[in-house]
Amino acid sequence: MDAGWLNRLEAAAAQNMKLERMASGAGHDAAVFANAGVPSAMVFIRNENGSHNPHEAMDIGDFLAGVDLLTRALIA
């Protein structure tokens, strides 16, 4: 992932939330973009029962925190 975008996300998170860097073994569109030279990063939002299953559930507060993080990173 792009160091510049990772730094922007970390700076945005430093204002009011905890951010952890993590690797993802799954294939994501961001990897395709990164391999094509498009600066990319990903934000994962915790969800109650894991992702990609019928019982997937996300707390709206966590979702809104992710939206806030992306917004602050984009306007920085």
Q: For 56-73, write each residue's pLDDT tens digit.
A: 888 999 999 999 999 999
Q: For 4-36, write each residue's pLDDT tens digit.
A: 999 999 999 998 888 888 887 776 788 899 899
Instruction: Report the alpha-carbon distance of residue 76 to residue 60 in Å, rounded.
Output: 24
pLDDT value of residue 25: 75
- Do residues 12 and 72 lie in contact, with contact meaning Cβ atoms separated by under 8 Å? yes
Distances (CA, A) of 51 to 23, 56, 69: 15, 6, 20
Instruction: Single out the residue of 69, 70, 71, 73 nearest to residue 16, CA to CA.
Output: 69
Largest CA distance in the chain: 36
pLDDT value of residue 23: 81
Every domain of the chain and the residues it spans: 3-75
pLDDT (mean) for 33-42:
92
pLDDT value of residue 19: 84
CATH number of 3-75: 1.10.150.900
